[in-house]
Chain A
Amino acid sequence: MSANCEIEFTLNGVVRRLTVPAQMSTLEMLRERLGLRGTKYACGEGECGACTILVDGVTQNSCLMFAADCDGRDLVTVEGVVASGLGERLRDAFVASGAVQCGFCTPGLMVQASHLIEQHPGADETTIRRGIEGNLCRCTGYRKIIDAIHEAAKAQAHE
């Protein structure tokens, strides 16, 4: 017998009310209960960053967060990030730089990059490299991803 929890939180600007099993992760809730498949499941233990979301304005691995802990909090997923001006800039820069190959790491990187640029406007390459340490990409070798984030950071700084 497992406990259920009633939770209420904001998701991409919309208030949601849900009953979730106590063991459920935020990642599973987003993908399987709410149908938001942009957030990816990969390692399931916080090593790869594919499940990165914003919680109360900072990034977290949604695979490491209990869904019950979303109660009262403000969540933004990649679907919410791309709806912002910065998200659009990041998307365009990823495309222009060829920063997407298989694409599995891309949503997590977009969310992490948006947080990075908000925290460090006009971030340089060193800051970008540090900022995406928690996101693994097995295709690109990171060069094009770093270029894309750098371009988006510059474009955002000129806004």
Chain B
Amino acid sequence: MNPIESYRAPRSLDEAAEILRTGNVTVLAGGTDVMPQANAGRLRLQPVLMNVRRVAELRGIAEEAGVARIGALTTMTELLASALVRERIGLLWQACDHFASDQIRNAATLGGNVCNASPAGDTLVPLLALEARALLASKPDGRLEMRRVPLEQFFTGPGRTARKASELLAAIEIPLPPEGFAGEFYKHGARPALDIATISIAAGARREAGVLRGVRVAFGAVAPTPIRARRTEAALEGRAPDAATLEATAAAAEAEIHPISDVRASDWYRRELVRNMLKRAMSHVGKL
């Protein structure tokens, strides 16, 4: 790990945004990505390490006017304990349940998972399917300002996001899905715990008179960023999830993904996983 010139632990969002104005800041929350990446030399720490864990405004889960606002510091364990998340944002809840281990779920934050921007990040896939937005705080003119970025535009590459160096992720906003929306998160790994996804899928829809409406599909670990799969969604929209539709959906998905071969799987295997597991997930959604 490279030397840290200054360690800061602000107690308010205003103070945190002020520190970010000076630039050259690495933001620390749960530490589960920053610490191992810095130790391995994959992350070069900025001269200032800013621990935001004491910023109260970054905590809490609240619902207002049909939108869930989840503070960036909310841990996976806190998400799993939330009735709102479990009952209304089940896709995210399922991803948290598949996340790492108990020890890591107790430390890792939603904001950290989003800002780490791994193509395989577990929560990013349901967040994309749920049309979540990033709420970014900064003080460009000495006054605290907020900017909203849809997550579909937030991820710009592996480990890269639309967050500026002067901005802090304050919260994730999720418009609550309509009544009747059911979804399934699927993650493929060599073991259930502590594995990085070989591929992941978040798929959901409403069932109306035997057909699927408002279809949402997103994939992880099949492109440089997690992706929303709009052509895959179009293949399902307004149709019954029968064998012919599922086959056409799988073909649409395969055309939409760009997997690589790496230590976890070949690109061919990832395509096979997406084809088969998407069909399974959508047939489940059709029955939920």
Contact = CB atoms under 8 A, between A and B. Distances in A.
Interface string A61-76: 1011110110110000
Given A64-B32, A134-B193, A59 B5 contact: no
Contact of A22 (B49, B77, B104): B49
Contacts, number: 94
Interface string B89-120: 00000000000111110110000000000000
- Range for the number of chain B residues in contact with chain A: 20 to 34
Contact of A45 (B36, B54, B193): B36
B193 A23 contact: no
B53 interface: yes
Interface string B2-37: 011111010000000000000000001011100110
A14 interface: no
A45 B32 CA distance: 8
A133 B192 contact: yes
- Range for the number of chain A residues in contact with chain B: 20 to 34
A2 B3 contact: yes
B245 interface: no
Given A45-B39, A64-B35, A66-B31, A134 B194 contact: yes
Nearest to A65: B31
Nearest to A136: B194
Interface stretch (A46-54, A88-96, A99-107): A46-54
Contacts of B156: none
B1 A23 contact: yes
Contacts of A66: 28, 31, 35, 49, 51
A149 to B, nearest CB: 13
A25 interface: yes
A58 B77 contact: yes
A71 B40 CA distance: 25
Across the A-B interface, the 6 shortest Cβ-Cβ residue pairs: A134-B101, A133-B193, A22-B4, A45-B36, A22-B7, A58-B106
